[in-house]
A and B are shown apart, each in its own frame.
Chain A
Amino acid sequence: MTATSTRIGALFATCRTEGRKAFIAYLTGGDPSPEQTVSLVLALERGGADLIELGVPFSDPIADGPVIQRASDRALRAGMTLPKLLDIVREIRRQSEIPLVLFSYLNPLMRYGFQKLARDASAAGIDGVLLTDLCIEEAAEPVSRLRECALDTIFLAAPTSTERRLRLAAEHSSGFVYLVSRTGVTGEQQSVSEAAAPLTQRMRAMTDLPLAVGFGISKPEQVSEVARLADGVVVGSAIVKCIEENAAIPGLNAKLESFTRNLTAPLRRA
């Protein structure tokens, strides 16, 4: 599947026309509190983010490093739930058309039920769903439920993925494919992984879908470097850390906006 009719498809189409790359920002829904998520998303958008990955906090985030683990803990302690996150999405949709991807571990969504989730998420204004620990072999039912409600399904590919698995990821993804730039958990790194370029090339040979690269990207130079490889650049932990460090001070939103603007600057120049 290549073309999609969601805001995600429209975003990458626009980017292609304009010859620019998309900036994808991750934040954990409900961190530091559910009341702040709407304004933080709007701050990310003002800072130049093109697409938001909204994390559903989970008690046992095995693919995440300490920064996002702490964010999940804060969000859960603040009472964050999937139904509340969908309320937040409805609120965001009153103010913004930015593409929104629900980013989650499987269990909270499975508990909610995929048929109901697909309906409710789509109605709330979610555009796509990415599940960190849902391998493609187990994904038939969730994918068909989500697609029935016109939601994109985004799968991950990693440096360890065999050719067969890259093909599976491409075949089952819509909207874009998420390339994990290195083996490891989420978190900032000194430099862009050497595995990012070969992985992007291998995947490019498989599909025309937009490719986004994430994991370990936290600085404008790294954004710029990854933008030369891929159609989208994902920054997660650095954004979550900015929220964590400024959570207690007034002006968090302005701080996050300027932090994001700094990260997205290389993409505007390009």
Chain B
Amino acid sequence: MNSVTLPDSLGHFGPYGGRYVPEVLMSPLEELEQAYYQARNDSSFREELSWLLHYYAGRPTPLYPARRLSGKLGGAEIWLKREDLLHTGAHKINNCLGQILLARRMGKQRIIAETGAGQHGVATATVCALFGMECVVYMGEEDMRRQKLNVFRMRLLGAEVVSVANGSRTLKDAISEAMRDWVTNVATTHYLLGSALGAHPYPMMVRDFHRVIGEETRAQALQQIGRLPDTIIACVGGGSNAIGIFYPFVGDSAGRLVGVEAGGKGTDLGEHAARFSGGSPGVLHGTLSYLLQDDQGQVGLTHSVSAGLDYATVGPEHAWLHDANRAEYVSATDADALAAAQMLARTEGIIPALESAHAVAEAICRAPKEPQAVYVVNISGRGDKDIDIYRENMPELDDGASGK
């Protein structure tokens, strides 16, 4: 297992990854890759990013022992990596700060992004405000309906939110539309892609900007627990929070890495976003990875109560970790995630994002069977943005919904 040195020079993680885009974007991607390598080796870039992550975003985030949750489950000792406490309420800001500094180095003044749940859109709008750059966020019409609060937050921050009415009107279509914008405006525009997806160098670069999650976890576990965790659990949409926390542990021989996909409401194509159990290798949005597709190679529709996990393909490094048996991938259903969110809220006073609630659900499922184990669950975001969806799904708690 030497995935610490991956990807190769063309962006491959084993057979996955690569760069499958229209020719117009090939030279700009090569430029971006070169700019990223230069920045990564530039101590002033690294220092400025560290400064921002600390003073602006609020790093390091705590590693917190979830004693009441662990006690209730009566098994493994569960610790929470609190990315939900970061500025803007999710891990997404780590990558946005890194990419905005890179965009500034490259002289780009206009930033575009896609968003599903709105967390990446909010984080992008935030860093654009901070650096005085123009910001356009593409968001599926269906997601705009599901995530009204984040749409308003982006606008309040000065971003333009463009509604995408194509296809399934979710994250997949938002990315397609952002890519069309980028193809058109590539000379002036940086595409601030929000997950460890897309064409090289994005999967590598986004992972690198999030690996701080895993590096902190490692140091904090040794200091606070006295040993490394047995199991690390994170939700996987595109997979940025998961690869961020997994990556510093990938080279270890021990330690289970568990990615949790959206099991949605069923196992038929269109009812979930479980790419590893329901998909097969294919190309979407510039990368080769596990893809939900039909027998004709048309991309399948997906469903999840969580907009951030509602996507047909998964970051290519996860595909590699899966095939190399270094990480395992499971799924949690909509119902599991909603129940897990409620349990975490009531035992720890923490309302997780619906995405993160999928990781919590897996921990809840495993913990009773492993009394000696130490788990770290990545709470990648907080649940404020999901309050409307929680309300819809928990009518018994909601006066406004009574009588419906």
**Bound-complex Cα distance A133 to B282 (A):** 12
B-chain residues with CB within 8 Å of residue A159 when the two chains form the complex:
24
Are A165 and B282 neighbours in the complex by a CB distance under 8 Å? no
| Nearest CB in chain A: distance from B287 CB, A | 11
Asked if A183 is at the interface of the complex by the 8 Å CB criterion, the answer is: yes
B295: CB under 8 A from chain A?
Answer: yes
Contacting pair A169 B23 (CB below 8 A): yes
B274 contacts chain A at the CB level, 8 A cutoff: no
Is B297 part of the contact surface with A, judged by Cβ < 8 Å? yes
Q: Do residues A133 and B27 form an inter-chain contact, with CB atoms below 8 A? A: no
Stretch at the interface among B13-21, B104-112, B213-221, B372-380: B13-21
Flag whether A81 is at the interface (Cβ < 8 A). Answer: yes
Tally the A-B contacts, defined by beta carbons under 8 Å. 117
Per-position binary interface string of chain B over residues 263-292, scored 1 when its CB falls under 8 Å from any chain A CB and 0 otherwise: 000000000000000000011111000010
Residues of B within 8 A of A106 (CB): 20, 283
Report yes or no: A59 in contact with B22, Cβ–Cβ below 8 A.
no
Which residues in A have their C-beta under 8 angstroms from that of B295? 111
Q: A110-B282, A133-B286, A135-B26 are in contact. Are A60 and B172 (CB under 8 A)?
A: yes
Q: A162-B27, A183-B184, A184-B184 are in contact. Are A135 and B297 (CB under 8 A)?
A: no
Is A245 among interface residues, defined by CB-CB distance under 8 A? no
Assuming the A-B contacts A62-B176, A63-B183, A183-B187, are A133 and B21 also in contact, with contact meaning beta carbons closer than 8 angstroms in the complex? yes
CA distance A161 to B185 in the complex (A): 15
B180 beta carbon closer than 8 Å to chain A: yes
CB <8 Å contact, B27 and A135: no
A142 CA / B297 CA spacing, docked (Å): 16
Q: Which of A89-97, A150-158, A225-233, A257-265 lies on the face that meets chain B?
A: A150-158
In the complex, whether B186 has a CB less than 8 A from a CB of chain A is yes
Shortest CB-to-CB span from B365 to chain A, Å, is 33
User: Which of the residues B28, B167, B173, B293 comes within 8 Å of A160, measured between beta carbons?
Assistant: B28
Chain A nearest Cβ from B11, distance in angstroms: 9
Tell me if B338 is interfacial: C-beta within 8 Å of chain A.
no
The 5 A-B residue pairs with the shortest CB-CB distance in the complex, in nearest-first order? A111-B297, A108-B297, A184-B184, A158-B24, A156-B23
- Sampled A-B contacts (5; CB under 8 Å): A61-B176, A137-B10, A138-B18, A159-B24, A183-B187
Add 17 more A-B contacts to A62-B22, A109-B297, A156-B22 (CB < 8 A). Answer: A60-B172, A62-B176, A107-B283, A108-B296, A110-B282, A133-B20, A133-B283, A135-B20, A135-B21, A137-B19, A138-B18, A156-B23, A161-B26, A165-B26, A165-B27, A183-B187, A184-B183
